[in-house]
Amino acid sequence: MFVDQVRINVKSGKGGDGMVAFRREKYVPKGGPAGGDGGRGGNVILQATNDQRTLLDFRYHRHFKATSGGKGMIKGMYGRGAKDLIIKVPRGTTVSDAETQQVLGDLTEDGQQLIVAKGGRGGRGNIHFASPKNPAPEIAENGEPGIEKVLQLELKVLADVGLVGFPSVGKSTLLAAVTSAKPKIAAYHFTTLAPNLGMVRLNDGRDFVMADMPGLIEGAAQGVGLGIKFLRHIERTRVLLHLIDMSSTDGRDPFTDYQKLNQELQAYDELLLKRPQIIVATKMDLPDSAENLAAFRQKLQKSTSESPQIIEISAVTHQGLTTLLHQALDLLATAPIYPTLAERKRQQQAEQGAGAEETESLFTITRDDDAVWILSGEKIEKMFDMTNLEHDESLARLARQLRHLGVDDALRERGAKDGDLVRLKDFTFEFVD
């Protein structure tokens, strides 16, 4: 089964908790704090590989969690750092945040890695909080929480030349004739339900990858038929071979098909039509093909001043195949690598993010039905998660941090009074004015 779109859940490892400890060796005067830091939590990393061709494995395994870092130890010893969780995906996988639609990366090279969820840093032990005023602090941080994300993985095949055309124009037959690929071939529409790849090797030693795209029909860019599901696979190709059935055995007009399919390509991504394109007149061994081709050439000349090259072939008799392959290679030699829609979107997001100002509030205050004030916000919730609630000094430090952020003043402005209850996550405390 060919699977090219999945969603997975990933969570990086939590950082190890820092430790509160003191030196008590017999010959060490005055001792002092000696609590070590926690270890780093494991990252979640996606790595491209040539060993996979589909995202099928993720249909059955969707949840991935990295391990947490080790806790800090006595005598200032650090906790053990966790190993990163490496998830292998096929080359050509685009990774996006499913909630924000932000494109995180494009994995196109074997071994290329992308950190999708960074592990939490280890909490600091009390050795870091010693000061002349407090030489024996009972303060330590919990490890930073891991990051949890829902990722959208989208596979786009990596091919140099793409075969496009309406159903049953001979794409699979051509691929089977020039490569060792064995696509399904039958006398009905939509025989091909997934892209097929094949390596074309010429006698002069040159080669390239050819992809047979499932048949497209009018309205494909809006999801009709196999629709947009496979239009995305054309994005990475550098040269398009537009196959047109010149036999017209099904009563279709070749020139109308040519126009409609180009309209679908343009509707999906207007830059697709800027790629080198060869019109491949197929089934030229059948009756009426030559006559239909002559009419096609006349209509094409009237519609545009710069028309693509037309090459006549018959995949059954191998007529014109050598000419077609050499011409495709010549175009590949000068064709650039075109950015995909995802790559252009990521660039646009980066440009917008570079000039955007931080306008989000550090925290929000609401009031529950039971008159309890509710504090929320990513930053203060992280502060709370990293506070060791077992020690009063750590709680006092959290109170100072909240006051520094302006939480106290904001509560007063909202009408909070001395003795009111305030809740931060699952921790409730009294507001002291």
List strand residue ranges (DSSP E) for 91-185, in order: 93-97, 103-107, 113-117, 148-155, 161-164
Amino acid (one-letter) located at 382: K
User: What is the arithmetic mean of pLDDT over 65-69?
Assistant: 96
| Structure confidence at residue 327 (pLDDT) | 92
C-beta separation of 383 from 398 below 8 A: yes
In the predicted structure, residue 306 carries a pLDDT above the cut 70:
yes
In the predicted structure, residue 224 carries a pLDDT above the cut 70:
no
Q: What mean pLDDT is reported for the chain?
A: 85
At 76-85, the pLDDT tens digits run 899 999 999 9
C-beta separation of 125 from 76 below 8 A: yes
| Structure confidence at residue 229 (pLDDT) | 60
Other beta carbons less than 10 A from residue 359's beta carbon:
5
Q: Which residues contact 99 (CB under 8 A, 6 or more apart)?
A: 149, 150
Nearest-angstrom CA–CA distance, 41 and 39: 7
Evaluate if pTM is beyond 0.75.
Answer: no
User: What is the arithmetic mean of pLDDT over 236-242?
Assistant: 89
Listed residue (318, 321, 287) closest to 163, CA to CA = 321
In the predicted structure, residue 114 carries a pLDDT above the cut 90:
yes
Listed residue (2, 13, 320) closest to 177, CA to CA = 320
Nearest-angstrom CA–CA distance, 268 and 370: 52
Nearest-angstrom CA–CA distance, 4 and 341: 16
| Structure confidence at residue 12 (pLDDT) | 97
